Amino acid sequence: MGAPFVTSQRLRFCDTDKLGHVNNAVYAVMYEAGRAELMDRVGLLSPEDSRGVVIARLELDFLREMNWPGEVSIESAVVRIGTKSMHVRQRLIVNGTVVSRGLSVLAVIDTNTRRAVPIEDGWRAKLDPWTVPDFDHQPAR
């Protein structure tokens, strides 16, 4: 069992909407950045690999608004690895406050056939440092 993968993004003025807070669509972009950096860190986005990940499900809970300027910490943890998919829980944190929680279900596919394929033991081992089954119950870092 590991610890969440943590990265950060700067909020941009163009992320805001008429109400002056960061638009809800940007939350999904922040989560995508966190997932992509995690997958890249473990080498699962290699262009030479015939496997990739696609998002099969996305859940977002909006808890607080985000405002520009600022920086967002993105925590990502693998909470479950199945046969052909994995569940990734994430949190967006601004100034120590959790502003959103998300869940993504990522299917592993063969990029040539576009069909789901089993997750190999090598992928499981690479994800192990960021596998945190009880992530929902951990305090924000």
Task: Going from the first residue of the chain to its last (141 residues), give the mean pLDDT of each consecutive group of 10, the final group possibly shorter.
Answer: 92 92 95 95 84 94 95 97 96 96 96 94 93 78 62
Pinpoint the alpha helices (H) of the chain.
24-41, 121-127
What local confidence, expressed as pLDDT, does residue 46 receive? 82
Q: Which fold has domain 5-137?
A: Thiol Ester Dehydrase; Chain A (3.10.129)
Please list, in sequence order, all residues whose beta carbon lies within 8 angstroms of the beta carbon of residue 58, skipping any fewer than 6 positions away.
Answer: 28, 31, 102, 103, 104, 105
What residue spans define the domains of the chain?
Answer: 5-137
The backbone torsions φ and ψ at residue 68, rounded to the nearest 5 degrees and listed phi first, read -85, 145
- Could you tell me if 51 and 42 are in contact, meaning their C-beta atoms sit under 8 angstroms apart? no
**Integer Rg of the chain from CA:** 15
Tokens representing residue 63 in the block: 């808890």
**Residue 30's pLDDT is what?**
97
What's the token pair of residue 91?
């949190």
